[in-house]
Structure formats: C-alpha cells, structure tokens
Amino acid sequence: MNLSECTTLKIRLFGILREKMESDNLLISIHDTSISLKELRKYLKELYPSLGLNEINFVFAVNKVICNEDMNVKPLDEIAIIPPISGG
C-alpha cells in the first residue's frame, strides 16, 4: 500500500455508536480520493466489528442529508452514521 495514495475520512458518531467507540468521530483511511457509501458501509463493518453495524438499521448522512449509497464521499464531506432515531 502506498501511503501517499491514502486520504482520511472523518465520520461522526452519535448515540449508542459514539458510546461504543468512546469517541465523537472515526477517522478512517481510504486508498483513493473518494469512496462510495456502499463500499464505506462494507469497510466499516470489517474494520470496526465492535460498532455492531450488522445489527442496526443505520444510514449515512453526507453534509447533513441522508444519501443514496451509490454516492461517493470525499475527505471534505461531513459524513455521519445515523443509527435508528428516537427523538420527540
């Protein structure tokens, strides 16, 4: 792996996920300048089994909007994992 080809994505965590990781964010390295949310989903499940992403019905928000997972994300995007909500 050539490190010069890696970029870092920052992924915001909330609620149960934030608590599990004891962190507001995940910083992950990808081998390209962007990655689709579909790939990111797979990647996160492999990389962080302790998040338990297989067990929850989460979606991604990119720049505060829920996005279709065909979409690609880049380092400057504000990415968040949104676990099932329970406000009100």
Partner 1 sequence: MILTTKDTIDQTKIFDQVKDDSCGAIVSFIGLVRDHNSKEKVEGIFYEAYDEMVEEILKNIEKEVFNNWNIKKFIAVHRTGYLQVGEISVMVAVSSEHRKEAFEACSYGIENIKKRCPIWKKEKTQFGNDWIEGVKINE
- The contact set with partner 1 (CB under 8 A) reads 12, 14-16, 18-19, 57, 59, 61, 64-66, 80, 82-88
Other C-beta atoms within 10 Å of 52: how many? 14
Cβ-based nearer residue to partner 1, 48 or 58: 58
Cβ-based nearer residue to partner 1, 5 or 19: 19
Q: Closest Cα partner for 32 from 80, 74, 78?
A: 74
Cβ-based nearer residue to partner 1, 44 or 79: 79
Task: Say how far apart CA 83 and CA 56 lie, in whole Å.
Answer: 7
CB of 8 to partner 1, least distance (A): 21
82 phi and psi, to 5 degrees?
A: -110, 100
